[in-house]
Structure formats: C-alpha cells, structure tokens
Amino acid sequence: MERRARLLIKLIESNNYLSSAQLSNIFSVSTKTIFNDLEKLESVLCKFQLNIKKKPGTGLKITGSSEQKEKLKNYIFENLSSNKFEITMRQIDICLYLFIHESYVKDIAANFFISRSTVSRDINQINNNFLSQYNIKIIKKHEIFKIEGDEVTKRKVLSKLIFMKSDFNLENEILKNDVPLYINKLFNIDLNPLIEFINKLEYDFNIKFTIESKKNLLIHLAISVKRIKLGKNITSVGKIKDKLTNYDVYIPILKKDILSIEKSYSITFSEEELYLILLYIFSSKVLDKNNYDADKDFKLKTKKFVQKVSEETDYNFNSDKELLNSLCVHLEVAELRIDFELEIYNPFLKYILEHDLYLFIAVQDNINIIFDKKVPDSEVAFIVTHFMASKERSIKKKNVLIVCSSGIGISSLLKERIINNFPKYNVIGTASIGEIKQYKKVDLIISTADLKKITDKKYVVIKPFDNIKNINNIISQINGKQQKVSIKFSNDHCWFLSEVNNKQQVLEKISKILSDKQLVFPNYVNVIKKRERIGSTYIGENVALVHGIYKEKHLVPSLNIFKLKKAINWSKNEKVDLIINFVATKNSEKDFKFIFQRMGKSIDDIQFWNSLKAIPLKKIPEMLNERFRL
C-alpha cells in the first residue's frame, strides 16, 4: 500500500499530466504495475468525487476540486501510509501555518481537513519531536494556538521548516525549481522588491552571491518582512551585533538600500533587524578566491583538516593547492552560519550521500578541527563538493577506442556522442575490427559489435543510437565488474539488544560484544563515543551507522548488525531501533569504500529500510548482502 499512497500523492501534487513511463521510472516498477495500482485505487478516488483523466500521448492526471484533493491527501496520511513520512509533512504544514496565523483548533482542523483530536495530537508531536530542541513551543492561550519563544529563534525555525519541506520527495517541485513562487504562495507577499534588493546589494556591497545563496537569502529576507508585517519584531541581537563589529561600516549603506523595501511593504526595519539582515548577507556571500588571503592560523587548521580527510579516505588531497584555497574561502563564510545556526538548503545533499558516502563520513568525522559546534549535514555536503572537485581535477582520463562495423559515418557519430557526454574519456580514435591491434594504450573499447574472440582488452557493446543513459549504464557495469570485497554481513555478526534504554547503554553493549568476540580492543566504547560527539551517526528511518574514526586501530574488519527491542532516543529528535556497525582497518579501506557507495544509494529508500526491519534478525544479513551486491 505504501507505493500506492505515494502514487496518489504524486498525481495530486502535479499540475501537469504524467505519463505511465514517468511514473514507472519514479516508482521503479513496470507500467503494468502502475495501471494495476490505479485500477485498485479507483474506489478510493470515487469516495472523494475525483477521477483519473487520461489523455492519449500525454499522460494522466487526477481531476476534481482542490478541496476534495486536499481531503484525499489527509485521508492518505491517516489511513494508507505505513510510515511517518507524510504525517511529518502535514505537521510541517501545520507549524508553518501557525507561524503566520494564530488560530483556533477548529480553524486548523477545517484548513487541513482533519479532526480536532488529530490537530491536538499533531501539535503535541510537533512540540515534543521538533520545537523542543529550539526552546520554543506551540501554546494554547484563550483557546488560540500560538508559537511562544524568542523571535530570532522562531525565524531560524521557520527557515528550517521551509528547507525541510523541500527535502520531501512527495513535495511539489515548486520549491526546488521556483523559490519566489513558493514563498509568494506561503507568505502572500510580492517578492520582486526583495529580488531587486538582493541584486542591488551585490553592486553596493561589492560582493557576489551564487544562485543557491540568493535563494537562501531570499527566504530569510521574506521571513523578516512577513514577521515584521505581523508585528513580530526583534528586540535584541546582542551576540550577532558583537560578532559583526567589523561590518559596521555597511550599516549606513544597508539603511539606504533597504528604504525601497520599507516603502514597498509599508514596514520599518529597526537597528536590530538591520544587523540580522547583515548576518544573512555576509553568511551568503561568495568570497573572491583569487583575491583572498586567509588568516595564517585558519589556513593551518584547514590544512590539517585536509590531511585528516586524506588519511581516512586514502586519497591524496594534500598537494591540491586549489582545494586548500577554495576550502578556506568557503569555511570562513560558513563559520558565520554555523556560529548562529542559520539553515541553508543544499540541493546536492542527496546526490552526495548516494555517490560518495565514504567521503561524506570522512569530512564529517574531521570537521571539528575547524568548528567546535555541530555542523549540519547540508553544510558538510557543501564542504564535500570541494573534495569531489579536487578528485575530478586529479582523474587521469581513460583512453577509449571506438570500434564500429557500420561505416565511417556511424563511427564518427558515436565518437562525437562519447566526447560530448563522457568528458572523463579521451577518445584516441575510431577503428574497424581489423585495426584494433594497431592501438596499444587502450583502457576501454566501445564497440558496436561483440569482440569476445578478437581482443582481450576491456570492452563494451552498445547500440550507436541508444540513449545516453543506457550507454552510461552499460559502461558503468563493465567498470564495476572488477570490484570484489572480502567482507560481508553474516549471521555470526547479528545481535539482539533487549536490556538497553539509552544511547550510552547501547554503545557500551556494542563495545562489550565486539571486544568479547576479539574484533576490537576493549577501549572501543571510547572510540565510538568520540565519533558520536562530532555528530550524530543517524542516517534516517530509525537507523544509525555506528563507527569510530577510520584510523583508530582495530583487530579485525567487520560488519555488525544490532537490532533493538524498542526504539531509543539517539539525539534530540531522532530515534533508533536498528544499528549497522562497521569496524574498518587500514587493509579493509577499499572494501568499505565500495560498501558505502552501495549503501549511499539506499539511504532514502524508506520501503527498503522498513522491509529490512520487518524480517527476522538472522535474515537481515542476506537482504543487505543482496541489496549492496556483496
């Protein structure tokens, strides 16, 4: 039922027709399965006076009133979904609503098409699972629900909620592709004056913003405008003002530039509001790395950070001067965001976790060299991109030979397609089958014919007019064939933890079990506690990936599974009932890199993790080995 619930939500959220092929690709099932699901969901749609409209050659969409669609969404959340994903999304919407409208319970219930008891339950969960960590809460005063707490903190939380919405796969793509349109809908304000203001800042402040930092700045500015219009003004920014003493020279310029916003929205910015905006500006700017000279101590810390990441990943980043310089530039600006816990949206986080989880963990393990505060995953991911760029710079292009039996025209076409779409390959020429032996330094042959009895070089067979995605998949498969690992999940490394009530007890129990099995040294508990202090090892869906720092000495490399009788609190708003533990040694680093590459592609697969936890403990290793192809 999980897939059908998501299918309905996807169709409800889309304003456009979606083809069966698109839906098949989104949900990784056949088009036949999509049509079978829709047939079984017709009775649900009928209850809400909704229909599926099919348009030949275009696709299908759900038609009916917006009110009925909203009612169906909430029915799905409460009845069809087996996980907390959609419930959380509704709670985010309720929280956003209360930041803008202080409301009676009956009005919230009517707006979200849910019962009053559901409203009360949701608000309790919002307070306990989310707002409590920020020391603000939703209270009920004279039968009206309102959010109580420090105004600066409220604005941080408001931006956090907006970014959380953008991370949900079920959310309409509007936020990812058109931030102004989404914020305009949420706050009901014209954003053109703010966009013009941001563009003017670049000129008057002589600074640059990236497209993503402009989006982040726009969100923060829109929040300020909306809160001031609601009469929710900031009264104190002492710590922020002290931190920005060196930027006082910009206050007169800001006062002049912001007059246009004050006029457009009929509001007034106090001095406290100006310093908060100054913080947003200078935590979003991009420094010119060509004219930037880092503080000597900061540069030494950054150099040490690069050395540690190099050691853990067994990849030499130390000689890349461009990496060191770009990191110093990035980290100096990031320091402001981290100091004041400003949220930023990172659209690349999911991609990075899927494609280089090993590097992400290594950066996260050592970022405390730079910052003494916890660094959010979104910030870690931006830092990882600098290391990924360094790896790209150091990659030696593979020599590729194009072999075609269909004539010069086809071979020339194929050559151009490979050059344009695979920049990592150096196409050294095109050849007929009989000319292959003339080419000595060939890393890969891309051929339109089978070369099984002709050459012992690595080759792939493709169709010259096949789409690039299929060609890439074929090449990826041949490049990955040589990868084998000597370590797997096994039944001998699975344990059920029953008498544990908190995180410390869990870590101590894990350490004792592994120490008794002579897999780690007796002090292993200190190693994994040290890692937890750097940042949570929680990866989502009540799963934690417990490990120590890579270079700590261990006895034997191992993959271990610990299933808890009941979920325990892992960090402020995270619960864990399944732990995957890895113990890496220097000789096993390549194995673990491969495992993390596979694991990263499954991090956001909710259905997989739910299925994994639903089976008996001794069956989990088999499912993990199959999933990660170990």
How many of the other CB atoms lie within 10 Å of CB of 44? 17
Closest CA to 12 of 55, 70, 74: 70
Contact 338, 388 (CB under 8 A): no
CA-CA-CA-CA dihedral for 614, 616, 621, 622, to nearest 10: -90
User: Chain-centre distance of CA 251, in angstroms?
Assistant: 35
**The two three-digit tokens of residue 233, written as one number:** 């003004």
pLDDT of residue 86: 41
What CATH number belongs to 289-394? 1.10.1790.10
pLDDT tens-place string over residues 276-308: 999 888 888 776 655 666 678 888 999 999 998
pLDDT of residue 409: 67
pLDDT of residue 170: 36
**The two three-digit tokens of residue 324, written as one number:** 């060191």
What CATH number belongs to 491-627? 3.40.930.10
Report, at the CATH architecture level, how domain 2-80 is classified.
Orthogonal Bundle (1.10)
Contact 23, 34 (CB under 8 A): yes
pLDDT of residue 479: 58
pTM across the whole model: 0.64
Fold annotation for 83-149: Arc Repressor Mutant, subunit A (1.10.10)
Measured between alpha carbons, how far is 553 from 538 in angstroms, rounded to an integer? 23
Task: List helix spans (H) across 17-115.
Answer: 20-27, 31-47, 66-75, 85-100, 105-112
pLDDT of residue 84: 43
pLDDT of residue 368: 84
Closest CA to 294 of 309, 280, 281, 305: 305
What amino acid is encoded at 178 in this protein?
Answer: D
pLDDT tens-place string over residues 124-146: 988 888 888 888 999 998 889 99
Alpha-carbon distances, residue 578 vs 59, 568, 581 (angstroms)? 41, 10, 10
Residue 500 neighbours by CB under 8 Å, 6+ apart = 506, 509, 564, 565, 568
User: Quick check: helix, strand or coil at residue 341?
Assistant: coil
- The superfamily in CATH containing domain 398-480 is Response regulator (3.40.50.2300)
pLDDT-flagged residues of the chain (< 50)? 1, 81-87, 168-176, 481-482
